[in-house]
Amino acid sequence: MKETAKLLPADIEEILEEYGHYLKSYTQLKDKDSIFASYKRNTKRLEVLFPLIEHPIHGITGLHVVENYGNDGYVRQYHYQWKVIVPKSGIQTAHISGWGNDAHDAEWTPEEYRVATEPHHHHYDPNDRRKRKENYDVRSLKDAFAFIAKYLESKEEYTVQ
């Protein structure tokens, strides 16, 4: 993995204060791993689902968050995935957009998976989660919320960008 700036762990209280008005609990959704229940966080990992207000085109969506922390307390690996959460479906059909920093720089990696911002990348195509492009803007939970909030506010469809 290429050397990158150290990333701070998500500040859940700050996120809830700034973006809490975009959250909603749904009876169709089991809340056990959502922000409305006892989500998983320890010194090594955060995993939580933020169920979002309904989008007029994408439907009931959520932001699934996984952050893995190194011994120094900084984010070692992150995955932020905006996806349809009701009805529950597979990874590909639920996918809207996602960001991560899992490296794809091995010499055998196909060219279409390599990006200039390696290891940071954006799964930008709602119709094909395998597609990746450069990710210059979303490298924290707050960044992911800011990106998604634009579509929740405008009610516009997220499409390939």
Average model confidence (pLDDT) across the chain: 91
Output the pLDDT for position 38.
Answer: 67
The 10s digit of each residue's pLDDT in 65-104 is 999 999 999 999 999 999 999 988 888 899 999 999 988 8
Coil, strand or helix at 154: helix
pTM confidence score: 0.92
Output the pLDDT for position 35.
Answer: 86
Q: Which of 50, 56, 62, 64 is nearest to 86 (CA)?
A: 62
Beta strand 121-123 pairing with 45-51:
unpaired
Output the pLDDT for position 1.
Answer: 43
Dig out the tokens for 27 from the structure: 């009876």
Q: Which of 141, 161, 139, 151 is nearest to 61 (CA)?
A: 151
* Top-confidence residue, 161 or 118: 118
Task: Give the number of other Cβ atoms within 10 Å of residue 65's Cβ.
Answer: 22
Gyration radius from the chain CA atoms: 15
* Lowest-pLDDT choice from 10-14, 26-30, 60-64: 26-30
